[in-house]
Structure 1
Amino acid sequence: MRLGLRLCSVRMTAELRHLRAFLAIADAGSVTSAAAVLRMSQPALSRTLRQLEAHLGVRLVDRTTHHLELTTDGRRFLDKAATAVAAVDEALDPARLRPWPLRLGHAWSAFGRHTTPLLRRWKETYPQTPLELLRVDERSAGLLSGKVDVALMRAPLIPREAEGLLGEWLCNEPRVAAVPADSELAAHTGPLNLASLAHHPIALNTVSGLTTLELWPEEIRPDPDAAVLVANTDDWLGAIAAGSAVGVSTSATAEMHPHPDVVYRPLAGTGDVPLMLIWRESPAGSGRPGHPAVPQLVRVALEVLAEDERGTG
């Protein structure tokens, strides 16, 4: 009698170590370097990566090129893996066990002149939940990388990045021009316009900023080769104060970053910039925020805005 052998395939369950391995490879740009960082052998790390790819059913890393690169699926998975690992590290951090802080990220200028009233109102109303205001020099203000729970954002996200995110519109901020205090532009008492800035080098925050040269119509677009590229608000202000460039931002920057060598002027002919509170929904996809205090933060922010409107109305 012949005995038939039944082969049973057991589906692997991905573990935290698989995510850490993938993140290390993506960060290091090679399996060899990542293996050294993780203090494991290269074959063991390659095997761990293959296990994760088998579990997901997609290839995350392109091994056919001379330099290791993430595939399209790998780039999509990168943010999810980083968020998951950050969430686990947060949950297992004894220092954050009690209370659970609410981390509010911003890339620049926070909540403008409403920042201090928001922080004070939160401390008075919810003293058991610390509100940590963090500047993160990323376009998403640390939300996509898992560094914060909720973010004040002005830069729009592309549709792929917006998956699994929820948000609340807070207000619209008018654009302003930032010019050196000793320049001819600063002597103007009225609003400036894009044409008046077009012949000057433009300071562009390429890491977390909102302004690009696309803001100008093509016929008056500033020379891209003359642009002064910076990575954060501090360097942006420094370039303008030194007379090396002019810049465009919103009224919140004028409120949060006064500078003796920089003059802010209203900028006519440009649309306002919407300010949003953005957060991740819970991993289960229930439509609820990942941090339980997010709804309270939204309510407090709207209350602060409403009080300001009544006070100036």
Structure 2
Amino acid sequence: MDVELRQLRCLVAVVDEGTFTDAAIELRMSQAAVSRNIAALEQSLGTRLVERTTRSVGLTPSGEGVLAKARRILALLADLEGEARAGTGRLRIGYAWSALGQHTAEFQRRWAATFASTELHLVRSNTPTAGLADGSTDLAILRRLPESAAVEHVRIGEEKRYCSMSSDDPLAHKRSVTLARIAQRPVAMDLRTGSTTLDLWPESERPGDVIPTHDVDDWLNLISSGKARGITAESTAHQYRRRGIVYRPVRDAPPVRVYAAWSRKEPPRECEQVVQLLKGLYA
């Protein structure tokens, strides 16, 4: 087996960018070179990794497994190179939607004062573990716990729930709203990484129409169009202010629990100190 790093980079880029053309632009290579590297990787591993159609690129089951390992290898290499250059450590904190919301800037300031020799990277990763499973992050901020025994977690705080709606929505003039009123229109939900599920409503009062979205940008675009409402954590309301969208507290909804999470097998360095720093933001 003769696997090269550039082949792994091509695989990751094709998946992240969605097409061979965009991957080539990102890697500053020709599209033909990207295709050759993917083909060489498949030949070295003896299995097909990528399913390519005229409109999209998908992974085979083998490809999914190889992608996760490729991300880990490239992340470890980046860590090694970064530490060798700077003589310092690095911690990558992942999040799917809104990091720490209104606390994000304060967290960055406290981090610089507490961990001066460790570089902080906030990484947006729209996956259930915010990058932990594929090795692209070391610690994650989660508002929805994944079904994975490989992830350790601890609650660091709570956030109020807010309804997001278009500024011309009939509820936009209200100071606060209820779950029942929200459900009278279609509700947008990210069922992979969002903090809202149908379990938030009593069974008899659930929305009649749920529109699935893929990430926070998709969710915001749908809501700003007026086609749906959404329910989210307070941090989203602070981090994603957009013209044409308003946020109102949901007065009869329970708060969103916020967790710090990490790989059970590979906890980050100074994990307990980092957790205490995060808890202090919500105290």
Quick one: structure 1 residues 76 and 155, their matched pair in 2 at CA, closer, same or farther if it must change by over 3 Å? farther
Residue 25 of structure 2 is matched in structure 1 by none
Counterpart of 2:79 in 1: which secondary structure?
helix
Within a 5 Å distance, the mapping from 1:146-185 to structure 2 comes to 146-159=135-148, 162-163=149-150, 165-185=151-171
Pick one of 249, 265, 279 that aligns with 1:265.
249
C-alpha distance in structure 2 between counterparts of 1:116 and 1:199, whole Å: 36
Q: 1:100 to 1:201 in 2, by over 3 A?
A: same
Pairing partner for 1:144 from 127, 133, 136? 133
Contact 1:151 1:279 in 2 (8 A): yes
Partner of 1:48: 44
What whole-Å deviation, never above 9, does each CA across 1:233-262 have from its counterpart, x for those lacking one? 234233323422211011222233344531
Q: Which residue of 2 aligns with 1:125?
A: 114
Which of 297, 301, 304 in structure 1 is aligned with 2:274? 297
Q: Which amino acid in structure 2 is aligned with residue 116 of structure 1?
A: A
Change in CA separation of 1:40 and 1:246 when aligned onto 2, cut-off 3 Å: closer
Structure 1 residue 152 displacement after superposition: 0.4
- For residues 69-218 of structure 1, what are the structure 2 equivalents within 5 Å? 70-71=60-61, 79-80=68-69, 82-92=71-81, 97-159=86-148, 162-163=149-150, 165-193=151-179, 195-206=180-191, 208-218=193-203
Change (3 A) 1:97 1:242: same
Alignment-mate amino acid for residue 299 of structure 1: Q
For 2:208, the equivalent position in structure 1 comes to 223
1:143 CA drift (Å): 2.2
Q: CA RMSD in A?
A: 4.0
Number of equivalences:
265
Describe the shift of the 1:262–1:40 C-alpha distance in structure 2 as closer, same or farther (beyond 3 A): closer
Secondary structure, in 3 states, of the residue corresponding to 1:186?
A: coil
Which SS does the other structure have where 2:250 is aligned? strand
Matching residue of 1:274: 257
TM-score, normalising length: structure 2: 0.72
Q: Secondary structure at the match of 1:151?
A: strand
Equivalent residue of 1:275, what SS? strand
Structure 1-normalised TM-score? 0.66
**CA 1:296–1:219: 2 relative to 1, 3 Å:** same
Q: How many Å apart are 1:279 and its aligned residue?
A: 1.5
Identity of aligned residues (%): 30
Structure 2 gap ranges (5+): 19-31, 50-57
Using the TM superposition, give the Cα deviation of residue 121 of structure 1 relative to its aligned residue in structure 2, in angstroms. 1.0
Q: In 1, distance between residues paired with 2:126 and 2:141?
A: 12
Tell me if the contact between 2:79 and 2:90 (Cα under 8 Å) persists in the aligned partners. no
Structure 2 distance, partners of 1:16, 1:166, is 33
